[in-house]
Structures are given as C-alpha cells and as structure tokens.
Amino acid sequence: MTEPQLLETPDREPGGTSEPGVRKPQTVARTRRRGGDDRSAETPYLQVRDLTVTFPTADGPVRAVQGLSYTLSLGRTLAVVGESGSGKSVSSMAIMGLHDPSSTRITGSISVGGQEIVGMSPAQLRRHRGGTAAMIFQDPPSSLHPYFTVGDQIVEAYRAHHKVSKRVARDRAVDLLGRVGIPNPRRRLDDHPHQFSGGMRQRAMIAMALVNDPKLLIADEPTTALDVTVQAQILDLIMDLQQDFGSAVLFITHDLGVVAEIADDVLVMYGGRAVEHGRVEAILGRPQHPYTWGLLESIPAVSGEPTRLHPIPGLPPSLLALPTGCSFHPRCEFAGRLDGACTRELPDLISRAADTTRTSRCHLPDPEQVFQTEILPRLP
Amino acid sequence: MLIYLLRRIASAVSVIVVTLVASFGLFFVAPTDPAGVICGQRCTPERYADISASLNLDEPVVQQVGEYLKGLVAGRTYHSGGLTIDCDAPCLGYSYTLGQPVTKLIGQALPVTVSIVLGGAVVYLAVGILAGVVAARRRGTYLDRIMVGTSLGINAVPYFVLALLVALYATFLPHAGYHPLLENPLTWAVGLLAAWLTLGVANAAAYTRYARASMIETLGEDYIRTARAKGISERRVVYRHGLRAAVTPIATIFGLDLAFQLTGAIFTEAMFGLPGLGVLTLRAFNQYDLPVLMAGVLIGSVVLVAMNLLVDILYTILDPRVRLG
C-alpha cells in the first residue's frame, strides 16, 4: 500500500482533514490556562504535536498512535490512561526514541527541552535517552538485567552520559540508591537484582532512571507489578523525587486510583487517539467521554454492598482496521442516540464552550449533562 | 557448594564404575574369543593358554573386574610367554596387538583428539556465535535468510562427506599431520588447520542457528529495552547485555557437543590421518583389541560425566541466579 492510499482510507479521512483545525483551539486553550498560571512564562518542556506512529506489517500498517498532541511542563505530572493497545506506551516509547527506525514510521513532532526527537540521528538519540529523558519500566524483575549487579547497571547508565571514573560513578550510584530509600546502599550495590525484593527492584530502577538528572521522567506503569502497600510507597517516592529534581513526569497507567493520587493533568487514549484531555479534577470529576465513563464504572467498589463489576463491553479495537467514525462507537451505549454520526464521522477533539482547559472527542452535544444524569447515579 | 561438588563427584564415579562393569560384561561375557583373535592364524594351544592367562580370561569375570579396577588404582603386572610386563597405575591394560600398555597408547592419542576438538571448538564458537548474532540483529532480512539457508545446507551434508571434500579439494590448506604442541606450536597449529576448519565449519553452521535463536529471544527481553533506554551504544546493548544472557543456553549444548567430540572425532581424525582416540578405538574394534576398547569406553564415560558436571558449574558462573546445592 502506498502512502496516499493510506490517507484516503475512510476512517482516517474525516480526522485527517479536520484535525489540524481542531488542534488550534486546543493549543489556544492551553496557553490561556498557562497564562493564568503561576508558571506562565516557561514553554512546556515536552511538546508532542500531531504524532503518528505506524508499524508496517505484512497485514498492512498498524497505526498505533494517530494525531496525538499534548504538552507537559517541568514540575507537572501528566497521566496517560488507556487500555492495552491504546497507544499510551507506544507514544511514550517514541518520546524516548526507543522505536526501531527500520520497523517504525514516526511523523509529527516531539520536542523535548527544545530539541526535536523525530528524525534525530542515532548518536543524538543516544544522548537523549537516559540523559534528557529517562524511563521507569513496569515489572522490574524482567526490566533489570539478571546477570549484572544493580550497581553495575546504575554505574553504566551514569557513565553513558558522564565521562567519569568507575569510582565516581559508584559513589553517585550509592547516593541515588540511598535517595530512593534503599537501606545500606553501599553494600547493596553489589547485589544482583534477584537478591532485591520487588519494591526494592523498582526503587533501583528509579535510581537508575534518575542517575543523570533527566528533566523528563516517563514512568510506564511502574506500580502494576507491585503489591498495594509497596505501590503507595513507590508513588510517594516518585512524587518526592519529582519535587527534588523539578522534572516533568509522564505517568502511563490504567489505574485511575493512581491517576487521582499523582496527576496534574490526564490524557485518556483510545485506539491510538486522544479522546479526552484536561486537568485531573475535571477528567475524573466531570468526564465528557463515554470511554472515560466506562473506565470509572469498571473500578470495583471496595466498600459497601458487593456489586458486580461493570466492564466496558466488547474488545479493544484492532489497530489494523479501526472502526469507522468514532473508534469507540461499537462499545459505546450512546452511539445509537446520534443518528449514525458516530459510525460515519470521527468526532473532533474539541473544548466545549463552558470550559476551555479541557478537550474531548465525542459527538454528544452535552456529554457532561449525560454524565451527571445517567452515569453518576450508577457509580458506586 | 563444596558439599554439592563432592556429591556430584561421588555420583560421577559411581556412574563410571557401572559403565565399566557393564562394558566388561558386554565384551568379556559375549560369545567371542578374544584370546583366539589375538593368537591369530598360527596359534598353538600353549600360546592360546598363555594369552588367556595374561588377559586373566581364565579367571571368573568378577575377579577380572576386580583386577582391572585394582590396575587402575595401583597398577598391575602381566606375565606373558615368560616375560613380565609392569603396567603402572593408572593401568588400563596391555594391548597385545600393538605390544604396548594401553595407558601409553591413550596418552599418545588423547592429545591429538583434544587438540583437534578444542581448536575446532574455537573456530565454530567464534564463527557460529558471531554469525548467529549478526543474523539475529538482521532477522527477516535477506542476509538472515541466506545465513540460515547456508547453515542448514552445510548441516544437510553428512559430516564425512564434508570432511572428504575438504581433504580432497582444499589442497591450498597445509598438509595435515600431528606434531606435539610442546615441540613446536607453529607446526602443531599448521598440521591441524585443515581438521580445525572442517570441524569448525560443520559445527559453526549449527551454532549459528543456536546463537541466532537464543539471541532473538534475548533481544526481545525487557532488560534489553532498559539497556537501550540508558543511552548506551547499540553495540554495547547487543554484545554486553544481549550476548551475555544469550550465551547460557549455548553453553549447555557446547558442553554436550564437546563431550561427544572428545570421545572420538573419528571422521576428522581418519580423513586427515591424525592418530587420535577415534582412530585408535576404531582400530581396536576391528582387531578386537579388548583392553584398548575398554579404555575407550572408560574415557568416553569419564569425559561425558565430567562435561556434564562442568556445564552445571559453568552455569553458576554464567548466571548469578543459579546456586548449586
């Protein structure tokens, strides 16, 4: 398949033509909000603009991320929420420059600290990875190399960006391990990851990510593999360190409880696109997109009468063949009310008249009204 | 660790003893006539009796086993035709067809085989692993397909045909022959080059595929992504982080391969006229030279058991998560 054909596939066309126009009000809205903010003057440290990530496969192109735009300033935390295959991990891997250029097509723009990541040379990307931006991965048992000591791995990360002796790098590693709360760090430096507990491994992972003082920290579901008490400790740690380092944190998760705890802003993704974006109080308190409603409804109630879980019906869409119109329409209980608009046309990511700090992608004329009257009473 | 080692060595020894007794049973109890074979065409009853006595064939089998084991530890003395032959420990017997103590024969043949096999191993490990890594990194490309195809092609040819082709057509290689390493390392290496290359190419083909598979699996691991996210060079990612982990399963195969090759690189030795263990055992088999055959079996079992133990110990060095005990 050639490129022009790609652009003319039915599900892509409405978005493709209308999206650039849509993005403008969004950026206007954001600048305005920042204008009233105390951290007004600074340009956002991370700026993602019209990001598209495509994996060409034998079955056709897999469009993992389409037309994604957002910004993130230093000292703030953006939570990216969505289920598997929503594009949340793929987009953050693109920010890290971790996609294999031979099997990935990335278009649009990613600017980190004023530097453009898309199209960067391999040597520049290497300085960027772990230097200006670092990533904490989920599941530390498999994300740390089992054959090397924890110290070795942190030292290697530091020396990849600093021309220092092993001794200096070791001291730095000890310092970092201490700061992430590992007792007796000098002694634990020579332990292998399997000698650490799950929580300690994640702490070591965080130490490794922070060793070069990155201004952008991407945490990819850093607490999923941990039990609840350890989860809380790790979240506290990340927030504390963010204060200390003053970095921007991009937090990928599917746990709305975690979002409520740590995020300033929330970006909800579905089928590779942003469906809702705004401040955390707005998105969790008065969500405008049926998918976000579904996420809220599917949180199990931990108190009161035991009730059945309310999962979102259906399955995540195939990125090879997204549904026409709104990608969410096959799973949306409100799609039938709109006279077929949902199946025909991809809704634009717009901010509703009342509130310009947030955007959502839904055909419903007044989604907040629907949320208040129909969804809220159903929530536990 | 020490207790584990002692236990493993004890079990290794018992495996070897059982193998020894079993082969003893097979060779000596079998309906054959070793003394008659050695005695040959112009045999006289006296000579026959003499040979029988010197092989202890006139004694009960259990006692023969006992004598053999005693010879291994303390040495023994043979009486043959009025001659007294001292066989020092470890005595593996006396070959009447060659007129030499078996220990001495093995002592001559073993360095040849070890030289061939270890030299060949250097070739196939280096070539195979490197090619495997290259193929894994370019997985799915034409280069990868060509490499895997070539590897399968080489392995589809029976080894002796390959060895024969090299022996016949690779005339640019220096003439094969064995010269002891300690006499002159250069002539040693030159004489073995053809054998190394043959053994090397045939096994490199297989090791390319092992290394490729292991490397593809490792490069998909999360910790490789973590390594890339650190900003280290791709070469460091592949060789330090990837190969380091990918090499463990290859070590298992290598240990067993090495044991198998050490017990007799028969084709390689025969094609290039190198007097190693394989050739020695084969000759012993044709001439029914029981003491030499017995020694061959014994060495084979020792090498196999030792290599297994060695691989297990190697694991603890390769993978810090593995602890013996």
Query: Residues B161, B291: one domain?
Result: yes
Pair B30, B145 in one domain? no
Identify the bridge partners of residue A218 per DSSP, sorted by sequence position: A135, A250
Domain boundary, last residue among B61, B81, B101: B101
The answer to whether residue B324 is domain-embedded is no
- Do the Cβ atoms of A216 and A112 come closer than 8 Å? yes
What is the C-alpha to C-alpha distance for residues A370 and A334, in angstroms, rounded to an integer? 9
Residue ranges and CATH numbers for the domains of chain A are 3-132+216-224+246-301+311-378 (3.40.50.300), 139-213 (no CATH)
Q: How confident is the model at residue A11 (pLDDT cuts 50, 70, 90)?
A: very low
Crossing angle of helices B2-29/B61-74, nearest 10°?
130
The torsion region of residue A184 among left (phi > 0), alpha (psi -120 to 50) and beta comes to: left
Cα–Cα distance measured from residue A172 to residue B177, given in angstroms and rounded to the nearest whole number: 58
The Cα A290–Cα A245 span in angstroms is 37
Q: Examine the pLDDT at A7 and tell me if it is beyond 90.
A: no
Answer whether residue A123 shows pLDDT above 80: yes
A143 with B244: Cβ contact below 8 A:
no
The shortest CB-CB distance from A144 to any of B226, B234, B320 is to B226
Q: Which of B101, B131, B164 is the last residue of a domain?
A: B101
Token reading at B256: 């067993």
Q: Identify which of A96, A142, A146 has the shortest CB distance to residue B229.
A: A96
* Tokens, residue A75: 């000292």
Q: Among all residues of chain B, which has the CA nearest to that of A131?
A: B231
Residue pair A316/A271 in contact by the 8 Å Cβ criterion:
yes
The SS3 of residue A282 is helix
Chain A interface disruption, residue of B226, B235, B244, B323, most A CBs within 10 A: B226
The alpha carbon of B97 is separated from its chain's Cα centroid by a whole number of angstroms, namely: 25
What pLDDT does A269 receive?
A: 95
The pLDDT tens digits for A170-189 are 999 999 999 888 999 999 99
Decide if B217 contacts B246 (C-beta within 8 A).
yes
Same domain, B142 and B196: yes
What range does the domain containing B193 cover? 103-318
Reported as a pLDDT band with limits 50, 70 and 90, residue A21 is: very low
Let me know whether B45 and B164 are in one domain.
no
Domain shared by B115 and B85, yes or no: no
pLDDT tens digits along A305-316: 777 778 888 888
Rounded-to-integer distance, Cα B5 and Cα B132, Å: 34
DSSP state of B107: H
> Looking at the structure, do residues B241 and B306 belong to the same domain, yes or no?
yes
The C-alpha of B117 sits at a distance from chain A's nearest C-alpha, in angstroms, of: 30
Q: Which residues of A touch B225 (CB under 8 A)?
A: 98, 137, 143
Give residue B264's pLDDT: 62
Domain-ending residue, one of B67, B101, B135? B101
Taking Cα atoms as reference points, which of A140, A135, A119 lies closest to residue A214? A135
Contact B228 A98 (CB under 8 A): yes
When CB atoms are compared, the residue of A127, A129, A144 closest to B223 is A144
| Beta bridge partners of residue B86, listed in sequence order | B77
- Give the one of B229, B232, B320 whose C-beta lies nearest to A98's C-beta: B229
What gap in Å lies between CA A259 and CA A266, rounded to an integer?
A: 8
Identify the three-state secondary structure at position B286.
Answer: helix
Q: List, in order, residues 6 or more apart from A220 with CB less than 8 Å away.
A: A89, A92, A135, A136, A137, A138, A252
Contact (CB<8Å) A146/B231: no
ipTM reported for the complex, 2 dp: 0.81
* Nearest by CB: B221 against A131, A135, A142: A142
pLDDT for res A29: 35
Q: Are strands A265-270 and A60-72 parallel, antiparallel or unpaired?
A: unpaired
- What CATH number corresponds to the domain at position B141? 1.10.3720.10
Identify from B216, B223, B314 which residue to disrupt to test chain A contact, counting A C-beta atoms within 10 A and taking the largest count: B223
Shared-domain flag, residues B95 and B161: no
Contact criterion met (CB < 8 Å) for A131 and B244: no
Say if B323 falls within a structural domain.
no
Cα distance between residue A354 and residue A282, in whole Å: 12
Q: Which residues of B169-192 are buried (b: 16+ CB within 10 A; e: fewer)?
A: eeeebeebbbbeeeeeeeebebbb
> How far is A180 from A178, CA to CA, in rounded Å?
6
**Rounded-to-integer distance, Cα B142 and Cα A242, Å:** 47
Contacts of A218 (CB under 8 A, 6+ apart): A92, A95, A96, A133, A134, A135, A136, A249, A250, A252
Q: Could you please report the per-residue DSSP string of B175-244?
A: PP----TTT-HHHHHHHHHHHHHHHHHHHHHHHHHHHHHHHHHHHTSHHHHHHHHTT--HHHIIIIIIIH
Same domain, B266 and B291: yes
Q: What is the pLDDT of residue B239?
A: 93
Tens place of pLDDT per residue across chain B (325 aa): 788 888 888 988 899 889 888 887 777 666 677 777 777 777 888 878 877 777 777 777 788 888 888 888 888 887 766 677 778 778 888 887 788 888 899 999 999 999 999 999 999 999 999 999 999 999 888 999 999 999 999 999 988 888 888 888 888 888 888 888 888 889 999 989 999 999 999 999 999 999 999 999 999 999 999 999 999 999 999 999 999 999 999 998 999 899 888 876 788 888 888 999 989 988 888 887 888 888 888 888 888 898 888 888 888 888 888 876 6
Q: Do B158 and B228 fall within a single domain?
A: yes
In a domain, B10, yes or no: yes
Q: What is the mean pLDDT of residues A270-283?
A: 93
Query: Do the chains contact at A146 and B229, CB–CB below 8 Å?
Result: no
Say if residue B231 is in the same domain as residue B310: yes
Whether cis (ω within 30° of 0) applies to the bond prior to B90 is: yes
Residue A214 contacts residue A202 (beta carbons within 8 Å): no
- Residue B22 DSSP SS3: helix
